[in-house]
Structure 1
Amino acid sequence: MATNRDTQDNGQPPASDEKLQGLLAHLDEAIALLGEARDFAKPGKLPRVLDTARRVLLQPGGAAALESRARALEEAGVFLDSDWATPQYLLPYLTTYSLKSAEANTVVIEALSELRLLAVAKGDYSHTLISAEQAHHYLTQVMALNLWLLFSTPSEAERETQGRLAQIPRHLFRHLAERIGYEHIIDKLIEEIWRILQQRPIQVDSVKQMITQIAICQADPDIDLGISGQGADRLVSSLYGPSQGCREDPGLEVYRERLASMDNAALQGEATGFARAMHDTGLVSPYHPVLLRHLVDHNDHLLAEALGLSSTGRDCLMCYRELVHALIRSAVHPPTSQAVYGLALMLERGILYQPPVAPALWRQLGLSLSEWSQARLNLALGEAVSPRARLLEGVLCMLGLPLGVGQGNNPTCQSARALSMWAYNDPDYLLQMVAWAARDDEIVMHFEGEAISSMASLGGVAQSLPMDLDPVSLIVVPHLDRIYAEMGRRCADREGDPHRWVNPEFHGWWSGRGFRINVDVATGQLHELETFLRHFYASYHPYYNGNQPLIHPQPAGIAVTDSAARFIGWHAITILRVSLDPSDVMRVYFYNPNNDSGQDWGDDVRVSTAGSGERFGEASLPFEQFASRLYIFHYDPLERGELAQISQEELDRVTQYIHRSWGADRIPSADFQADSGPRPQDY
């Protein structure tokens, strides 16, 4: 039986559906005109497409109609020469600003981008730059950060600034939720948050925002989450109620007053609760600094309890008591709460026992920051605390979490890798770099005996100043980026890959002077692959190198592929160790600076970040699979030099992995000149 939802009284389709079909006809015509236009003429054709798309999005069913046209819209050039042209680099937290914009075109193009990624995530659009899994992860985070769009009506402020435009994000998110499934949004979001936290990144603001959104939804009586979201309790409590004294989230001032009246037994309970929550999640509640600042003047035993220290950390705290107290007073505030976790893990590492580290931290405490450094920290991180406190927080987090450094949305993996490597392996050198950059606005490094100044060097790999970084990276990376690029320029006329000479000079003496690459730089084709693999096995595999553990972290380069095993680009990583996992599978454990190491590289090559013997911040792959994505590595030429006698069967398996993925177009042939594809450049 027909209802009013199906037809009108006269048997005709509803007026809204008729209107939508008319708009879609106009839209298809506009898309065709945009697609036919030359690139220089597209800006003149684009407004008609965006205006028609805006009107479509305001109609019931409009979002679904645009999703089905996602490929056509992109191929026509809707995203051409804009930030949305590279979806693999989009940042979820920026969507909030775009969707709340008063500029109609900004809202519409953001909506079109989300619908494009939805089509990719659902497998309807095979994109060359982003995989279905990556698109799904991105949309999950976008929805988490904008949950209010699913459950609330436009606020007065939105109505004032956006008018009817405020309905578009809500129509969009209802469609996203229906396609992904309402019942899975919160649960998948929680799963995603835990997956990210297992990697212990330094930057957790976006994760905290997601958890805050979940907490708001849970507390709102008008929002029915059903049975979903049960696993969020630990996440929410870790931020807003980790202990008995603040379990109802009373506010910082109220909690400070409560601490003043607590006895030692109550304070012990507070310290234990905070420490457990922090080490369980890697997140620090804004209440935690209030407790630490209270305890620093009263009780070192409870201070150690509140930091969750083992005997190693306690000994370090007692040996360097005055320094730790000074660090807490200067760096630990509610807006810089993650400094607590960084401090705890730094003490656990015992690096203060290295003679230069404690004096270097005393220098950091009194460091005068340049005007440029202060302005940059304030601009990127706000002015809730002083720039010096922000930088100290970053220093503590980097020393405590050396594998948590991320490169952000920037092509600066070399610089991020260097910072991570120094924090991991040479912390006083890192502190020297921070002092030079923050105080002097200059870093001087040496390349083959010649000084290179960051201020005298030309531009780096990054085309603009990176802003989405942790405090230390924010100050130091621009200098390192310019120096790294200058080192590369000085090798430009040499035969072979410049990383042979740049990596040991840039990263440190421990980077092996032996160097292997399996791609011919001139042609981009595979070169001496078997020799490359046998050298790698002989240098790194315990069964073939005399069971010699890796002593120092080593720079390496990988060919990154997507979930369809298609080549994406060259990327810098650090090989940390090689050992058997709990299932007796030989694995390579490595550091990846790309913010999220858990990736599907196609052909059943899935990078693990937890559950296979990884320590916090490590990624891992079985040795064969790792070797299949490796294209550059360093080794000590004075160590055992004979080629590993690995079986031909194992060698063939690795080679087949390569030929099925990034090496498919790089196989040299006497009879057929294959497309060489992109050549190895600065990874």
Structure 2
Amino acid sequence: MNSAESVVTDPGVGKLTEKLEHAVSRLEQASAFAKSNHQAPVIDVARRLLTKSGGIEVLYEMAPRLDRAGVFAGTDWAAPASLIPGLVTATMRGGSAQTITIECLSELRMLAVATGRMHSTELSGDLARHFLTQVLAMNLERVFGMMDEAARVKAGPLDGAVSELFQFLLNHIGFDDILQSLIDEIWRILAQRPIQVGHVKAMITEIAITMANGAGSLGDARLGADRLISSLFGPTQTCRDDPGLTEYQSRLETIDFPGLQQEASGLARAMLDTGLVSDYHALFVRWILDTGQVTLLPTALGLSSTGQDALQCYSDLVHHLIVEAIHPGTAQALYGLVNLLERGILYSPPIAPGLWRQIALQPSEKASAALTATFGAALPPRVHLLAGTILALGLPLGIGQGNNPTCQSARAISMWSYSDPAYLLHVLFHATRQDTVLMHFEGTPISSAELPDALARSSMLDTDAVSTILVPHLDRIYGEMGRLCSDRGEDPHRWINPEFHGWWVGREFYIAVDVATGKLRDYEGFVREFYASYHPLYNGNQPLIHPQPAGLAVTDSSAVFVGWHAITLIRVGLDQEGEMRVYFYNPNNDSRQNWGNGVLVSTQGHGERFGEASLPFAEMVSRLYIFHDDAAGSLSDTPVPESEIETVRALAYGSWAADRIPE
């Protein structure tokens, strides 16, 4: 932009800034219930400022004041810590002018927090910066002006302003940091092997486009980026140039058998390296079945001797699962199939017939509508459901709750897949075909079809297929169980967890908090009981047989209490450095979290298996508030050292329990 243009636009910005000052003053003076009446003028002036040269700088300078005045009050942007980076792109592309303006103001607020210009009680500067890094990474085409023709045709009056905003954010965040952080973030997420990887694939696609256009500098991160991109778009030499599925199949038809063996091995290697499955891989396994070259299947799946044995015993079933469920549009299910075979669960008598029934299952009209709303209509709903079933059975710790307050239901699905996959198939069949799930609470039947909606939306757009069908039913049942024991004067999880999750849940129940007062109750006894139940040095070296539900007092990076959260205790053991750790499942989509006071949840590097999170034993206990145990009790009389108790107490008192200490 030249200086002449700056002279022309400066007066306009000045006048609009004055109008904004007046509008914000009125908003500041308005009472809480009247804020909504005074937000529109502020947003309207902000919208006009966004389109002026220098206007974004003005809005950035005023971001702290706009937030304090209440421009976000009563909107979806009111709680910055709850915002989701993945939703920004859709809002900027398809939102109304008012919605886009609020989104832009929200990004500027995040930037103000990230740069230290503004303090937020809800999130730290590092978290705000992390949020903006993800937003920029998912909108690289705007940052570098690489929007395609379709995007340009559909561009609205604020599109130029939005692109300017992203450039403004980039200037403050730094591009190199974005790409390298993004690549590190992708590898960190993939190390947890989640079922839902659509957002990861979208970010990898953006990186590929950026690199193809020569933008950005990757430096040491290039190798990691190349591995990610090739895993999706060119996992083998035959498809290294990303030729498209039709051309790839034509090339396969010209390759000799040794070459096909190399192709199968290369595809499997890329899948097992990243946990991502290329559409080329899905086409390859379908093609070898169609052409009668099934001897290549074990190699294409990268199976160990355990998986090969299961494949040999159940080859007809596996072939049908591939034909019915695994397409280029559902390629990720292939990784689920590999893990299903490696788990050996097909040897459990009900699983194979349960999967045969699932193959033939036609979802009800309501279930079909929910699946189509979530996954689109390119493939039939039954295909998405069968693919999702394979993933859920293969990756029980990869199930996530999405952006839904349904950790209990997500935990139940994960636990059933882990410990009782036949039961998962049972409830999924009835929910899909009959639109109901029947469970019992202390002998009383509860049918989800007869209950009102609870926390879960009837249409869940950010979860796997099994969760899309089951969670609304399970959420209603969980709520009803809570109602049935709401008058007992104690935490309802004492009775709900064994009835809701399964017979293996321990009947002994321990809680650190007095339900009536919210204060700690015999906290030292609570800690000692957990050590005696789960720590190998104090429980007679007894392993954890069945995963157990537990409740966390979740804290943020400042160790401030956030809320209660459901997890699953999976196992306890020594890591490679000899430190005793608790390994657990967290239904959150990202298990690596900072809970403050030096409590950093790990997902890799400390002996974690795919999908597990872990903490040193004392740190884990310091964030627990409920757990279950087998009524048999501890098999050891070894006392827990007072130093261990004191370590846990200090961590708890310095975080979630700070205002719960009894007087």
- Fold shared by both chains (TM-score > 0.5): yes
SS in 1 for 2:73: coil
SS in 1 for 2:366: helix
Q: How many residues align?
A: 661
Instruction: Kindly indicate whether residue 367 of structure 2 is the aligned counterpart of residue 373 of structure 1.
Output: yes
Equivalent position amino acid for 2:362 in 1 = S
Partner of 1:342: 336
Give the Cα–Cα distance (whole angstroms) in 2 for the partners of residues 542 and 93 of structure 1.
Answer: 42
Do 1:459 and 1:485's aligned partners in 2 also have CA atoms closer than 8 Å? no
Do 2:138 and 2:206's aligned partners in 1 also have CA atoms closer than 8 Å? yes
Give the Cα–Cα distance (whole angstroms) in 2 for the partners of residues 543 and 120 of structure 1.
Answer: 45
Equivalent position amino acid for 2:515 in 1 = V
Deviation at 1:177, TM superposition (A): 1.0
Partner of 2:645: 651
Deviation at 1:61, TM superposition (A): 4.0
Instruction: Kindly indicate whether residue 611 of structure 2 is the aligned counterpart of residue 617 of structure 1.
Output: yes
Do 1:200 and 1:404's aligned partners in 2 also have CA atoms closer than 8 Å? yes
Instruction: Kindly indicate whether residue 144 of structure 2 is the aligned counterpart of residue 167 of structure 1.
Output: no
Equivalent position amino acid for 1:213 in 2 = E
Do 2:489 and 2:516's aligned partners in 1 also have CA atoms closer than 8 Å? no
Structure 1 residues 432, 102: closer, same or farther in 2, change over 3 A?
closer
Structure 1 residues 291, 464: closer, same or farther in 2, change over 3 A?
closer
Decide which moves more: 374-383 or 474-483: 374-383
Instruction: Kindly indicate whether residue 326 of structure 2 is the aligned counterpart of residue 332 of structure 1.
Output: yes
Give the Cα–Cα distance (whole angstroms) in 1 for the partners of residues 180 and 516 of structure 2.
Answer: 49
1:530 to 514, 524, 549: 524
Give the Cα–Cα distance (whole angstroms) in 2 for the partners of residues 347 and 110 of structure 1.
Answer: 45
Equivalent position amino acid for 1:53 in 2 = A
Deviation at 1:649, TM superposition (A): 1.9
Give the Cα–Cα distance (whole angstroms) in 1 for the partners of residues 73 and 226 of structure 2.
Answer: 43
Aligned positions of 1:3-152 closer than 5 A: 14=7, 16-101=9-94, 103-152=96-145
SS in 1 for 2:158: helix
Do 1:342 and 1:401's aligned partners in 2 also have CA atoms closer than 8 Å? yes
Do 2:141 and 2:147's aligned partners in 1 also have CA atoms closer than 8 Å? no
Do 2:619 and 2:651's aligned partners in 1 also have CA atoms closer than 8 Å? yes
Give the Cα–Cα distance (whole angstroms) in 2 for the partners of residues 89 and 610 of structure 1.
Answer: 25
Deviation at 1:131, TM superposition (A): 3.7
1:293 to 286, 289, 295: 286
Deviation at 1:202, TM superposition (A): 0.2
1:284 to 277, 281, 284: 277
Do 1:590 and 1:620's aligned partners in 2 also have CA atoms closer than 8 Å? yes
Deviation at 1:55, TM superposition (A): 2.5
Equivalent position amino acid for 1:86 in 2 = A
Structure 1 residues 226, 210: closer, same or farther in 2, change over 3 A?
closer
2:404 to 382, 405, 410: 410
Give the Cα–Cα distance (whole angstroms) in 2 for the partners of residues 164 and 196 of structure 1.
Answer: 36
State the TM-score, normalized to the length of structure 2.
Answer: 0.96
Aligned positions of 1:430-445 closer than 5 A: 430-445=424-439
Deviation at 1:56, TM superposition (A): 2.5
2:569 to 575, 582, 590: 575
Instruction: Kindly indicate whether residue 450 of structure 2 is the aligned counterpart of residue 461 of structure 1.
Output: no
Give the Cα–Cα distance (whole angstroms) in 2 for the partners of residues 519 and 263 of structure 1.
Answer: 68
SS in 1 for 2:571: strand
Structure 1 residues 228, 109: closer, same or farther in 2, change over 3 A?
farther
SS in 2 for 1:497: coil
Do 1:79 and 1:85's aligned partners in 2 also have CA atoms closer than 8 Å? yes
Structure 1 residues 488, 641: closer, same or farther in 2, change over 3 A?
farther
State the TM-score, normalized to the length of structure 1.
Answer: 0.93
Partner of 1:250: 243
Q: Structure 1: state its 5+ residue gaps.
A: 670-683
Partner of 2:589: 595
Instruction: Kindly indicate whether residue 198 of structure 2 is the aligned counterpart of residue 208 of structure 1.
Output: no
Aligned positions of 1:347-358 closer than 5 A: 347-358=341-352
Instruction: Kindly indicate whether residue 234 of structure 2 is the aligned counterpart of residue 241 of structure 1.
Output: yes
Give the Cα–Cα distance (whole angstroms) in 1 for the partners of residues 640 and 367 of structure 2.
Answer: 52
Instruction: Kindly indicate whether residue 180 of structure 2 is the aligned counterpart of residue 196 of structure 1.
Output: no
Do 2:431 and 2:470's aligned partners in 1 also have CA atoms closer than 8 Å? yes
Instruction: Kindly indicate whether residue 634 of structure 2 is the aligned counterpart of residue 634 of structure 1.
Output: no
Do 1:417 and 1:572's aligned partners in 2 also have CA atoms closer than 8 Å? yes
- Cα RMSD of the aligned pairs, angstroms, is 2.1
SS in 1 for 2:639: coil
Structure 1 residues 614, 76: closer, same or farther in 2, change over 3 A?
same
Equivalent position amino acid for 1:130 in 2 = L
SS in 1 for 2:490: coil
Q: Deviations over 1:294-340 (max 9, x none)?
A: 12242333101000100000000000000000000000100000111
Q: Deviations over 1:560-606 (max 9, x none)?
A: 11111111110000000011111111111000001000111111111
Decide which moves more: 118-127 or 452-461: 118-127
SS in 2 for 1:84: coil
Q: Deviations over 1:97-147 (max 9, x none)?
A: 211236211111111111222223334433333343433332222111110
Give the Cα–Cα distance (whole angstroms) in 2 for the partners of residues 403 and 76 of structure 1.
Answer: 43
Equivalent position amino acid for 1:501 in 2 = W
Decide which moves more: 357-366 or 173-182: 173-182
Do 2:602 and 2:613's aligned partners in 1 also have CA atoms closer than 8 Å? yes
Do 1:46 and 1:78's aligned partners in 2 also have CA atoms closer than 8 Å? yes
Structure 1 residues 159, 47: closer, same or farther in 2, change over 3 A?
farther
Give the Cα–Cα distance (whole angstroms) in 2 for the partners of residues 117 and 213 of structure 1.
Answer: 22
Give the Cα–Cα distance (whole angstroms) in 2 for the partners of residues 628 and 61 of structure 1.
Answer: 49
Give the Cα–Cα distance (whole angstroms) in 2 for the partners of residues 61 and 172 of structure 1.
Answer: 11
Equivalent position amino acid for 1:237 in 2 = S
Decide which moves more: 164-173 or 429-438: 164-173
Give the Cα–Cα distance (whole angstroms) in 2 for the partners of residues 515 and 436 of structure 1.
Answer: 31
Give the Cα–Cα distance (whole angstroms) in 2 for the partners of residues 344 and 48 of structure 1.
Answer: 57
Structure 1 residues 500, 166: closer, same or farther in 2, change over 3 A?
same
Structure 1 residues 26, 156: closer, same or farther in 2, change over 3 A?
farther
Do 1:330 and 1:389's aligned partners in 2 also have CA atoms closer than 8 Å? yes
Instruction: Give aligned-pair identity as a percent.
Output: 55
Structure 1 residues 642, 531: closer, same or farther in 2, change over 3 A?
farther
Give the Cα–Cα distance (whole angstroms) in 1 for the partners of residues 94 and 372 of structure 2.
Answer: 24
Give the Cα–Cα distance (whole angstroms) in 2 for the partners of residues 434 and 294 of structure 1.
Answer: 30
Instruction: Kindly indicate whether residue 261 of structure 2 is the aligned counterpart of residue 263 of structure 1.
Output: no
Q: Deviations over 1:238-267 (max 9, x none)?
A: 000001111101110111112122211111
Do 1:535 and 1:644's aligned partners in 2 also have CA atoms closer than 8 Å? no
Equivalent position amino acid for 1:422 in 2 = W
Give the Cα–Cα distance (whole angstroms) in 2 for the partners of residues 390 and 188 of structure 1.
Answer: 32
Deviation at 1:450, TM superposition (A): 1.0
Do 2:520 and 2:660's aligned partners in 1 also have CA atoms closer than 8 Å? yes
Equivalent position amino acid for 1:250 in 2 = P
Give the Cα–Cα distance (whole angstroms) in 2 for the partners of residues 239 and 137 of structure 1.
Answer: 25
SS in 2 for 1:579: strand
Give the Cα–Cα distance (whole angstroms) in 1 for the partners of residues 199 and 175 of structure 2.
Answer: 22
Do 2:51 and 2:160's aligned partners in 1 also have CA atoms closer than 8 Å? yes
Give the Cα–Cα distance (whole angstroms) in 2 for the partners of residues 86 and 41 of structure 1.
Answer: 19
Equivalent position amino acid for 1:260 in 2 = E
Do 1:129 and 1:568's aligned partners in 2 also have CA atoms closer than 8 Å? no
Equivalent position amino acid for 2:264 in 1 = A
Do 2:456 and 2:471's aligned partners in 1 also have CA atoms closer than 8 Å? no
1:503 to 497, 507, 513: 497
Deviation at 1:229, TM superposition (A): 5.2
Structure 1 residues 609, 167: closer, same or farther in 2, change over 3 A?
same
